[in-house]
Amino acid sequence: MASDDGADDLRSDAAAGTRADVGALPDIGRREAGGWLVPAAAALAFAALPLVVSPYAQDLIVRIAIYAIFALSLELLVGATGLVSLGHAAFLGIGAYVTVLASGDSGASLALLVPLAMAAAAGYAIVVGALSLRTRGVYFIMVTLAFAQMAYFVVHDTKAGGGSDGIFLYAKPTLAIGAQTLLDLGQRLPFYYTVVAVLVLTYAFIALLLGSRFGHALAGIRVNEQRMRAAGFSTTPYKLAAFTIAGALAGLAGLLLAVKDGAVNPELLSWHESGAVLLMLIFGGIGSLRGAVLGAICFTLLKELFQSEALLGSLASHWQLTLGLTIIAFVAALPRGLIGIGARLRGVRAARAGAARST
Amino acid sequence: MTTATFLVQCLNAVQYGLLLFLVASGLTLIFGIMGVINLAHGSFYMLGAYLAFALAPWFGDWFLMRLVAGVALAAIFGYLLEWVFFSFLYERDHLQQVLLTYALILVFEELRSLAVGNDVHGVAAPAWLAGGFHLGGLMEYPWYRVFASAACLVVALALYAVVNRTRLGMMIRAGASNRDMVRGLGVDIRRLYRIVFAGGVALAALAGMIAAPLSSVYPGMGSSVLIICFVVVVIGGIGSITGALVASLLVGFVDTFGKVFFAEWSGVGVYVLMAIVLVWRPEGLMKRGF
């Protein structure tokens, strides 16, 4: 059965290719330069910015921070576990839609909305994960994309989802004890600080997770799943757990996005969003949590720049062209992302030093 | 549901399925042989539809000539695109292939918008295929749809013959089962890649040209087809042309009858089918062979 073996070869080739490529990247669990100082300084900077910047810029920063949470959730899959999902926007969209639907006309408490949005996204992630993890490599990419499209059709075509126009969020969520309102996300500054706090917590949570036994198991799966299985790990539950946690965190980002925009529409679940968040990861540099945040910042700013008529004039209406060409140039020139520039420079310097020594 | 309606829906399902097959077979061949996941494959379908629209004034009533010219142009385009772009993707990992071809979609969409604008355009079916035949009672089935099915069927048979009966087909099959061995045996693999890619583009563009009078020509028409084709490839098994044919027809029937029975939830049916196949046979219906 030569053709049989051939097909198997092809499949395992494809899988091995992905695994080896991701495995060759820097170890995500390892301490990055500066330890906690750099993220802590960045968090302080985020927190201090409203004091100096305009409301428009604050709005932009909130969007960046929400996309950073979204990108971090995907990093758990792509960078830490080596699973390239092209359907992550589904979980963002489900979190956002559940938030709006559960808020109704009168609004709802965050104590209800946060668990609800995360549980709904996690619920769909368990189902999609259980099915798509039966495949690997390029199949996995296609299957996750297809299931995200299914969620897209559900909100796009059914009455409950509000059709292609989406739904408005009439009342922003609050958090209250008795009659005392602790937090009202309808106000600008409290919302700003809530988003920054969620970003910090998400970052810390994923960093702790990756440092734990669970995180090491994920790293093992990324580098060599065969060996992990031989070592007695049942790898599928680990991958499914990572997929579900990533889905839940994306749902949380979706909640924040729905509150920020005050509306949801099916485009949130579109595969353009799924592709965009993957781009953020590769812009920043896969295999690094900082890279995910950096990538979210760069990608959002870049898109803002290309769409800005004030800066680019008539070229702004063709932003897809400029963005597309930039992506091609970027991925071709810097496959390791912005975080990789430092390593590359160090490599060049070391090579030069080596050359100088040998002459 | 009367017998006549049922028959019409069956014919529609077959026609849709065969059209999907033209796009999906190129996608599955390109992945099977070059190992490239190509998100931009839907853009070639769009290219075909827009070619049908753009070439219409030039060819007038010469409908078949228009198809041939469009396919030839698309094949040349595919050949060049493989040369300047896709040949650089083979050594990259899947994630980068996804992102680079994603960027390519953005570029194609914008170029399309620059060239022909964002309006929806209709493309007329040729005069000699106007009208339809009667299927009991008041039901009439358009001749153009019959032509579309027949044309796709002829192309599918031709594809089968090329892959299974010719020297080129032998190299394609060998390339799909073991790339390195084929290279080692002295086959010019770069040329083979270029031909297969150009063929895939031509097939997708032909599907777009045939579909243009049925569905009209509109922005973003490539992406919906692309995702359905991914479903077809997953159901059929990557690299398998027979699998792609079986899966396309299955998807055609599920989608068409889904629309009849569950109007609002019809978009979901195809994905449920994929979920069932994933549970039953995760490697696809036709795991191996062509």
CA–CA gap between residue A196 and residue B249 (Å, rounded): 50
Q: Is A184 helix (H, G, I), strand (E, B) or coil?
A: strand
CA–CA gap between residue A142 and residue A85 (Å, rounded): 8
The answer to whether A190 and A181 are in contact (CB under 8 A) is: no
> Angle A289-307/A188-211 helices, nearest 10 degrees?
140
Residues of A within 8 A of B287 (CB-CB) are 4, 7
Q: Is A300 helix (H, G, I), strand (E, B) or coil?
A: helix
What pLDDT, on the 0 to 100 scale, is given for residue A32? 62
What pLDDT, on the 0 to 100 scale, is given for residue A23? 39
Single out the residue of A344, A348, A349, A336 nearest to residue A294, CA to CA.
A336
What pLDDT, on the 0 to 100 scale, is given for residue A340? 77
Of the residues B230, B240, B255, the best mutation for testing chain A's interface (the one with the most A CB atoms within 10 Å of its CB) is B230
The alpha-carbon gap from A274 to the nearest alpha carbon of chain B, in Å, equals: 11
What pLDDT, on the 0 to 100 scale, is given for residue B199? 94
What pLDDT, on the 0 to 100 scale, is given for residue A356? 67
| A3: nearest CB among B106, B282, B289 | B289
What pLDDT, on the 0 to 100 scale, is given for residue A357? 65
| A321: nearest CB among B32, B107, B177 | B107
The alpha-carbon gap from B261 to the nearest alpha carbon of chain A, in Å, equals: 15
What pLDDT, on the 0 to 100 scale, is given for residue A22? 42
CA–CA gap between residue A107 and residue A124 (Å, rounded): 24
Of the residues B227, B241, B259, B286, the best mutation for testing chain A's interface (the one with the most A CB atoms within 10 Å of its CB) is B227
3-state secondary structure A202-255: HHHHHHHHHHCHHHHHHHHHHHHHHHHHHCCCCHHHHHHHHHHHHHHHHHHHHH
Residues of A within 8 A of B266 (CB-CB) are 157
Of the CATH numbers 1.10.3470, 1.10.10, 1.25.40, 2.60.40, which one belongs to the domain with range A44-358? 1.10.3470
Residues of A within 8 A of B103 (CB-CB) are 323-325, 327-328, 331
Cβ of A321 and B111 within 8 Å?
Answer: yes
Cβ of B271 and A149 within 8 Å?
Answer: yes
The domain locations on chain A are 44-358
Residues written for chain B? 290
Q: Is A109 helix (H, G, I), strand (E, B) or coil?
A: strand
In this prediction, the residues of chain B whose per-residue pLDDT falls under 50 are none
B167 CB contacts (<8 Å, ≥6 apart)? none
Provide the ipTM. 0.87
CA neighbours within 13 Å on the CB side: how many for B157?
5
In this prediction, the residues of chain A whose per-residue pLDDT falls under 50 are 1-26, 29
What pLDDT, on the 0 to 100 scale, is given for residue B122? 83
